[in-house]
Amino acid sequence: MPVFDFSNSADEKREAECTYVTFRSNSAETSLEQPILILDNRRKEWKHHSCGVFMNQSKRTAFEFKEEDGTVSADILQVDARFVSLIKWLGENHINVRLSGGNREDGYAVYRIRETAFGGGTKLSAEDGFLQFMIERLLASSAPEDRPEDEDHEEDGDGMKLTSIQSITDFMTCAGRTMPDNIRLWARRNLAVARSNEVSPEERRHAQRALSIMMNIQWKSNYFEAIDPEEARRILDEELYGMERVKQRIIETIIQINRTHTLPAYGLLLVGPAGTGKSQIAYAVARILKLPWTTLDMSSINDPEQLTGSSRIYANAKPGIIMDAFSMAGESNLVFIINELDKAAAGKGSGNPADVLLTLLDNLGFTDNYIECMVPTVGVYPIATANDKSQISAPLMSRFAVIDIPDYTEEEKKIIFSRYALPKVLGRMGLREDECIVTGEALDVIVSQYADTTGIRDLEQAAEHLAANALYRIEVEHVVSVTFDRTAVQKLLT
């Protein structure tokens, strides 16, 4: 069990006595019933807001209250296991804090800790905002496993969109265990480089930049909470018309996640003509999974280094697009939408950019040449889109569950136009449905007009054209309503 020994006296070495026990909690919020720690209040009941510092009085882990008539200490009785390192760090650095809590039968329950600006006290690297950032990260993490403490082990840093070495050091000390072991070890090595005077300024700059990128990513476990299939179906019906086979496949994936609480081994590859809603399906899945999403357009990538990043030996080195995606998402669990996989061109140099994706799709981890650290990918769910699957290599194709998406029939296009496309445009323009009416014959003309085109993008543009014309006539000609018949549509769209 860890012991807080905040004494600075060097003349007397005595073993500190731990006065508290830890308790395990996975609650993401704090309250009087779910406190961060509990202090002894048998001698005195403490105020709702009380100021002071964490310290060690008479070999006991304690908090020293700064009262009007002097200072009074109270032993720490219980601590949330996630906050042990943070409380120790606050005490070692004599950070002045304000506690918010309430008196209970078992002690003074503290549910909020904030930094206060007392004169002469040490200030945090980003003041109270940084402290709250660390607390939020700790609350978002799970209770640590019970295991013996390694006294020789040190934890070092992170920050909130930070570049400060001090901030990174502070975060690693207090919340380093929220990161995977390999990333924590990587961070300590890079922190040593960033602080070293024995390397070039360029090396220090690269190490600090890499630390800043990695520390601002929230590294989550691969455990996924159950998803309501009915809610998932509602989202799919809201976003897509028809496509029952596609919806069924997605619901099957949801059921699988609910049983295993992990993502499937294979992502989805959506193959179909342009404009059939492949990207819309991908966005709907991200919404169902409640994950951030990022897009990767393979048609614009002609060099594998764009994906993997460049080595730090170059002055203008930078991370690759894949690492940037993790950084922008802010967490390690995300939906990776890979657009136009079939248009990935062979690189100018050696290698095919599409083949770089193989390591990302295998869920074995991805290593960026700039970061030089294996990034866990077990929380990444890839969804790729393509128009022609014959242009995709067999190894890449084998990493996906392929879903063929056919083009819409004429009847489906009519329903999509009248029930989805036109009402959506009218709502965006502030028009009522009775202000822009399209007759059945006019609808036949619209669909036949774009019979030779795939998808529904042309139908959506036609709806936009009709609605804009109706709005113009209502505003300029002051008509009450506009009805589009066969003749009017033919005149407007041809």
Name the residue range of residue 209's domain: 165-215
Helix axes 440-449, 457-476, angle to 10 degrees: 130
Residue that is last in its domain, among 367, 389, 404: 404
Question: What is the value of pTM for the model shown?
Answer: 0.68
- Position 420 scores a pLDDT of 84
Within-domain flag for 284: yes
Residues 12 and 426: their CA atoms lie apart, in Å, by 80
Within-domain flag for 128: no
Residues 340 and 261 reside in one and the same domain: yes
Q: Check the CA dihedral 169-173-174-180 and report its sign.
A: positive
Tally of domains in the chain: 4
Residue that is last in its domain, among 374, 404, 434: 404
State whether residue 108 is helix, strand or coil: strand
Residues 391 and 416 reside in one and the same domain: no
Residues 336 and 277 reside in one and the same domain: yes
Within-domain flag for 381: yes
Within-domain flag for 13: no
State whether residue 176 is helix, strand or coil: helix
Residues 338 and 271: their CA atoms lie apart, in Å, by 12
Residues 362 and 272 reside in one and the same domain: yes
For residue 165, which amino acid is it? I
Residues 182 and 88 reside in one and the same domain: no
Distances from the Cα of 2 to the Cα of 17, 138, 187, angstroms: 10, 18, 23
Distances from the Cα of 285 to the Cα of 242, 436, 440, angstroms: 16, 33, 34
From first to last of the 494 residues of the chain, give the pLDDT tens digit: 455 555 444 444 445 678 889 999 888 899 999 999 999 999 889 999 999 999 765 567 889 898 887 888 899 999 999 999 899 888 888 888 999 999 999 999 999 999 886 554 455 555 678 888 889 889 988 877 665 544 444 433 333 454 578 888 888 888 888 889 999 999 999 999 999 988 898 999 999 999 989 988 888 888 888 999 999 999 888 877 777 888 898 999 999 999 999 999 889 999 988 877 888 888 899 999 999 988 888 888 888 888 999 999 888 899 999 999 898 888 899 999 999 888 875 544 556 787 788 888 887 889 999 999 999 998 999 999 998 888 888 888 888 999 888 878 888 888 888 888 899 899 889 999 899 999 989 999 888 888 877 777 888 889 999 999 999 999 998 999 999 989 888 888 87
Residue that is last in its domain, among 354, 370, 404: 404
CB atoms within 10 A of CB 229: 15
Residues 209 and 180 reside in one and the same domain: yes
CATH of the domain at 307: 3.40.50.300
Cβ(448)–Cβ(489) under 8 Å?
no
Residues 475 and 347 reside in one and the same domain: no
Within-domain flag for 3: no
Residues 387 and 241 reside in one and the same domain: yes
Residues 237 and 382 reside in one and the same domain: yes
Residues 249 and 394 reside in one and the same domain: yes
Within-domain flag for 14: no
Residues 58 and 4: their CA atoms lie apart, in Å, by 12
Within-domain flag for 56: yes
Residues 371 and 394 reside in one and the same domain: yes
CATH of the domain at 427: 1.10.8.60
Residues 363 and 234 reside in one and the same domain: yes
Within-domain flag for 355: yes
